[in-house]
Amino acid sequence: MYSRAHLLIAREYEKLQNEPLWGIETWPMYEDTIFEWMAKINGLVNTPWEGGIFKVYIKFDEHFNVRPPKMSFQTIPFHPNVEVSSGRPCVDFLDDYEKWNENFSLSMLLLSLQSLLANPVLKNAVNIDAAQMLRNSPQSYYQMVQECVVASQRVEAGGSPYIGTADSKVRFDKHPPEGVRTAPTRGVVRVSKLSFEDYHKTWSGIATSKTSANAVNPLLESIKDQHTLQKVHLGLPREEVEEQMRKQMEDHNTLMYGKFKSKVSPENVREARLAQLKKMKKIYLAPRQSPLPPNQDIDLAAALPGLQTRDDGNEGWEKEVDDLVKWTNNLDSNAIDAT
């Protein structure tokens, strides 16, 4: 099963094969992927770039056509809008995703590069030397363009690209960009049909939700005896994946529902309540000077006989707590605030 980006790229390739562009040739670099292309762009007729042959590397990703592909000249021309070191063309919709439109086709991108060669933009130029030469000495610039054209033809014929002096401003990158495999080959891209059963099996294996807790994963079932495919699909041994899933579920349950401990014993409950009782005694029975006349002082012993020390076993402390709460409700708030 192919991704959305893969299908869109395959459609672009088929369109270019059925409706070829003048002076432009494209092909996937490898038979096992459609995401890396090489294009060959010829200079437009009746322009200084006529006769030039320039190779362009095109790198797609899974976000195509939401985001544009990365494009760079491998035969790097001496041009105000082409970076000397990387060969990257300075085009606004390739650099700024906000200016990219999903309706832009690969044909339009290639035609834009072909037109850019003959129509340089001096504003915000990335090759300062080329921009200054074109502005101050157009004749020298067009002479350099002719040098680029001849050198590109030599490269296409398999010869050395450099002509003239060693400090020539014309650069030709013999190697693809970093991370790109070498030895490009032309291959035919075949888009095969996919049955619904295979489609359902694959997506059921990728899906993160299940119809029921005991639902069987059909993809894992189909590769359970093929360890190589399991390793490719899971990326880790099955045991490690299951352990990671168990830990993730524990973390999820802790975040959603809290971490529950084992059932608390009656002894622990009793100790916790006694600790709470002592804390309440320190808060409400702390020594304080009463602002009332001596004959109006609160008689704590008479007001709350339950606070007296009890030795009648473990059941009396519960009544003591209730009495303490009742006593706090009957306190004179004015007398407490004046203390």
- HEC letters along 237-248: CHHHHHHHHHHH
> Residue 331: CA atoms inside 13 Å, Cβ hemisphere, count?
17
Please list, in sequence order, all residues whose beta carbon lies within 8 angstroms of the beta carbon of residue 175, skipping any fewer than 6 positions away: 182
Q: Are 55 and 75 in contact (CB under 8 A)?
A: yes
**Which string of DSSP letters, residue by residue, matches 268-333?**
HHHHHHHHHHHHHHHHHS------S-GGG---HHHH-GGGS---S-SSHHHHHHHHHHHHHHTS-H
Mean pLDDT of the chain: 77
Percent of the chain with pLDDT over 70: 60
**Which string of DSSP letters, residue by residue, matches 72-96?**
EESS----TTB-TTT--B--HHHH-
Specify the pLDDT at position 237.
67
Task: Kindly report, residue by residue over 60-81, the tens digit of the pLDDT.
Answer: 999 999 999 999 999 999 999 9
**Which string of DSSP letters, residue by residue, matches 42-72?**
EPPTTSTTTT-EEEEEEE--TTTTTSPPEEE
CA distance 161 to 174: 9
Please list, in sequence order, all residues whose beta carbon lies within 8 angstroms of the beta carbon of residue 187, skipping any fewer than 6 positions away: 27, 28, 30, 31
Task: Kindly report, residue by residue over 112-171, the tens digit of the pLDDT.
Answer: 999 999 999 999 899 999 999 999 999 999 999 999 999 999 888 887 665 544 445 555
Q: What is the DSSP letter of 290?
A: -
Report in angstroms the alpha-carbon separations of 84 from 43, 172, 226: 19, 9, 49
225-234: list long-range contacts, CB under 8 Å, 24+ apart.
Answer: 233/205
Q: Are 322 and 307 in contact (CB under 8 A)?
A: no
> Which region, left, alpha or beta, applies to residue 141 given φ > 0 means left and ψ of -120 to 50 means alpha?
alpha
Report in angstroms the alpha-carbon separations of 229 from 205, 219, 222, 237: 13, 10, 10, 11
Indicate whether 310 pLDDT > 80.
no
* Domain ranges across the chain: 4-156, 266-338
Q: Are 151 and 169 in contact (CB under 8 A)?
A: no
Task: Kindly report, residue by residue over 200-212, the tens digit of the pLDDT.
Answer: 666 665 555 556 6
| Secondary structure tally for the chain: helices H, strands E | 13, 4
Q: Which of 90, 116, 219, 304 is catalytic?
A: 90
| Mean pLDDT of the region 21-48 | 94
Specify the pLDDT at position 338.
55
Longest dimension (CA), the chain: 119
Specify the pLDDT at position 167.
44
- 148 part of the active site: no
Q: Are 74 and 55 in contact (CB under 8 A)?
A: yes
| More confident call, 328 vs 134 | 134
Confidence category of residue 97, pLDDT binned at 50, 70, 90 = confident
CA distance 338 to 255: 46
Confidence category of residue 226, pLDDT binned at 50, 70, 90 = confident
Indicate whether 184 pLDDT > 50.
no
Confidence category of residue 183, pLDDT binned at 50, 70, 90 = very low
Indicate whether 221 pLDDT > 50.
yes
The CATH number assigned to the domain with range 4-156 reads: 3.10.110.10
Confidence category of residue 295, pLDDT binned at 50, 70, 90 = low
Indicate the SS3 state at residue 180.
coil
Specify the pLDDT at position 274.
81
Structure tokens at 111: 């035609």
pTM of the model: 0.51
Confidence category of residue 42, pLDDT binned at 50, 70, 90 = very high
Please list, in sequence order, all residues whose beta carbon lies within 8 angstroms of the beta carbon of residue 28, skipping any fewer than 6 positions away: 13, 34, 36, 37, 186, 187, 189
